Chain A
Amino acid sequence: MNSTTTAPPRVRARHPGRREGEYDRFDPLFERLTTLAAGSAEHTRLRERLIAEHLPVARHIARRFSGRGEPESDLVQVATIGLINAVDRYDPHYGRGFLPFAVPTIKGEVQRHFRDATWAMRVPRRMKELHLQLVRASGDLADRLGRSPRPSELAEHLGISRDEVLDGLAAAAAYRPASLDRPLRKDDDTSDGYGEQLGETDDALDIVDDAEYLRPALRKLPERERRIIALRFFRHMTQSQIARAVGISQMHVSRLLARSLAALRHELGGRPGG
């Protein structure tokens, strides 16, 4: 899809600690991958190995985008998706090797994440900073209080007025997570340990009458979102508890829940506005 073979060759030199050409040794493996039937055990194994061997590249690219307000763990996950796409789409018979193809593909995925996942409108810098302050302060206070803080507590903690807190929280509404349109990925490819409870949750679904429709709808959600839905609605964890368990902010949990519920409504009822 992305074009790709035109990436500047210097990208190889950008991986400090990795000698230039170190990844060339995988070229024969990519050749081999094209000869194997997709879905065969050997293809799967080789594909997974190639993904794993190149993970440092994805991590390296993710790190270069860190410090811009998105959690690094999210960025690594997104970069890994880019890497998987690159492995799946790479054709060793064209171009100058895998890395010149993969690096722009991975970067493109991360950039798309930023485009989708950052401020939906122009928000004054002061508001962005206030928002970041609020995210950090609510994490700190949640640890201390054992529950999420109230606006008045945030105001006191930060030494600002309650109105400012309310403005900052409202600004959070202009900050939106990546869109649902991202292609679905295979769970085992990006799994970071979220999968282990899903079997149990599956049984819990029987509590509701529409479980038979809910299951396939849930399966269409990205794994993390599915897990968050399960923890909130079948395990009765609070948003703050989920935030801690998943390693993201409560505000991000809130956004993901809103997005997932809308998607589920859409899937379950074909309701308008889903």
Chain B
Amino acid sequence: MDGADHHAPAIAARDDVEIRLGAEAVHLPVVRAVAVTIAMRADLDLDAISDLELAVDEACSSLIVLARPDSLLICRFTVRDEEIVFRASVASDREPPSTQTFGWRVLTTLTDRARGWARAGQVHIELAKAKPVSAPEGRAEEIH
């Protein structure tokens, strides 16, 4: 079970965070808390912080349903200059979630990019949330 991680690149020393947990809903608050902390530290706005948290919750929930019993949920957050990328996977022989469902609509509404795929006994979901473009100095005052 372990070692079945197909995340391509090795974890980047500086900006990646990876957590592995039992694929059980009871652990979801941990993943949500990490998502919120990372989004806040990346200085996303409050809407985007909450959206990312909700999307991570939705993605993990749908993966947990597909997971083989007693398998791991592997989550990785990558903070890039322009976006936060979240990837999660579980060991499963099933298909990734259908993109025609309400659940998938939730993911695509809350993030800027969502895709799911199955490969080598793992189902993956990847989400990306854009970081806000830094507002030019004084913009807030201008608007006011």
Q: Which residues of A contact B (CB under 8 A)?
A: 138, 144-153, 166, 169-170, 173, 207-211, 214, 232-233, 236, 238-240, 250-251, 254, 257-258, 261-262, 264-265, 268-269, 271-274
Contacts and interface: CB of A to CB of B under 8 A. Distances in A.
A264 B109 contact: no
Given A209-B101, A258-B57, A273-B28, A250 B46 contact: yes
28 contacts: A144-B140, A148-B47, A151-B43, A166-B41, A169-B40, A173-B33, A209-B98, A209-B100, A209-B101, A232-B109, A233-B102, A233-B105, A238-B47, A239-B46, A239-B47, A240-B46, A254-B54, A257-B50, A258-B54, A258-B57, A265-B58, A265-B61, A272-B24, A272-B25, A272-B64, A273-B26, A273-B28, A273-B61
A60 B51 CA distance: 37
Contacts of B64: 271-273
A208 B61 contact: no
Interface residues of B, number: 39
Contact of A150 (B36, B46, B61): B46
Interface of B: 24-26, 28, 33, 36-37, 40-41, 43-51, 53-54, 57-58, 61-62, 64-65, 98, 100-106, 109, 132, 140, 143-144
Nearest to A258: B54
Q: Is the interface of B mostly helix, strand, loop or mixed?
A: helix
